[in-house]
Amino acid sequence: MTRSARSYRVGHRSGSHRSRSYRAGAIPALLVIPAVAGLAFLVLPLAGLVLEAPWGTLLTRLTDPAVLAALRLSLIAATSATALCLVLGIPLAWLLARSRFPGRRLLRSLVTVPLVLPPVVGGVALLLVLGRNGLIGQYLQSWFGVSLPFTTAGVIVAEAFVAMPFLVIAVDGALRGADQRFEEAAATLGASRWLIFRKVTLPMAAPGIGAGAVLCWARALGEFGATITFAGNFPGETQTMPLAVYLALESDPEAAIVLSLVLLAVSIAVLVILRDKWIRPAS
């Protein structure tokens, strides 16, 4: 082997070693300070919430009738909104994932609009459509005697409006990533489209449906803007936990902290449940 070839191989090994060392090395010093500042910016407010919590009277405050009423209503409304999202969102996600029609990309974009729309604007939009004098609400009122604004049903509708995109996006991704050969095989064996959907498509999309449902439920539980705009803030009827936090800040800050801790615990639980799907360590 010539000297130049040996020099090239030695240099190549040295360069590969330096490359591996760089990949496994420390963070550049210029990134450390902003990284620590960013971590502190996100963590310190949560730590302050925990440190300032009235732990000595926590159980007493959690059993307060007003707190229990807000908690009960929040759980019922969020669960009902999630059920509504499942009934409407799974077929919508299937339509986006498996159908081919003009304007499908535009429709997918419209579905995600509530994710970036200010919640208060969503509440105003719901009032204009489903209010007593709204485009659809006026007929609900005159034909069926149904009025959604400022009712518990209105809370469910408002939460479903802002939470459904989380479910649709998750199920849409699961359906597009599923192997359609199983559905084709079932079709060749004579299975109907409805049977294929129930026995093949839904089981394949089950992980995405589960993750989307959890995210949908958590988003519905924490909804504030659309709820207070469309359903109001009436204790025992439309006052959910976020609304109770807002109201308690003026009269009973410790109660607001307790309710905030409950919502924080729910958020952490959601992250734990979805850690294998959304938070995976790099290989």
What CATH code is carried by the domain that includes residue 201? 1.10.3720.10
**Do the domain assignments include residue 264?**
no
- Residue 204 main-chain phi, psi, to 5 deg: -65, -35
> pLDDT of 116-127, one tens digit each?
999 999 999 999
Of 254, 256, 262, nearest in space to 218 by CA: 262
- Higher pLDDT pick, 23 / 268: 268
SS3 percent helix, strand, coil of the chain, rounded to 5, is: 80, 0, 20
Q: Average pLDDT of 29-48?
A: 88
Q: Is the pLDDT of residue 158 over 90?
A: yes
* Residue-wise DSSP of 48-75: HHHHTS-GGGHHHHHT-HHHHHHHHHHH
Q: Give residue 104's pLDDT.
A: 82
Q: Give residue 283's pLDDT.
A: 46
Q: Give residue 73's pLDDT.
A: 93
**Do the domain assignments include residue 204?**
yes
Q: Average pLDDT of 91-112?
A: 88
Q: Which amino acid is at 157?
A: V
Q: Average pLDDT of 222-240?
A: 92
Q: Give residue 138's pLDDT.
A: 92
**Do the domain assignments include residue 126?**
yes
Of 136, 170, 158, nearest in space to 81 by CA: 158
Residue 3, token pair as written in the block: 């000297």
**Do the domain assignments include residue 15?**
no
Q: Give residue 87's pLDDT.
A: 95
**Do the domain assignments include residue 13?**
no
Q: With bands split at pLDDT 50, 70 and 90, how would you rate the model's confidence at 27?
A: low
In the chain, the number of structural domains is 1
| DSSP assignment letter at 280 | -
Q: Average pLDDT of 98-120?
A: 88
Q: Which domain holds residue 117?
A: 74-99+106-232
**Do the domain assignments include residue 141?**
yes
pTM recorded for the entire structure: 0.82
Q: Is the pLDDT of residue 24 over 50?
A: no
Sign of CA dihedral 241, 247, 251, 254: positive
> pLDDT of 168-198, one tens digit each?
999 999 998 888 888 889 888 888 888 888 8
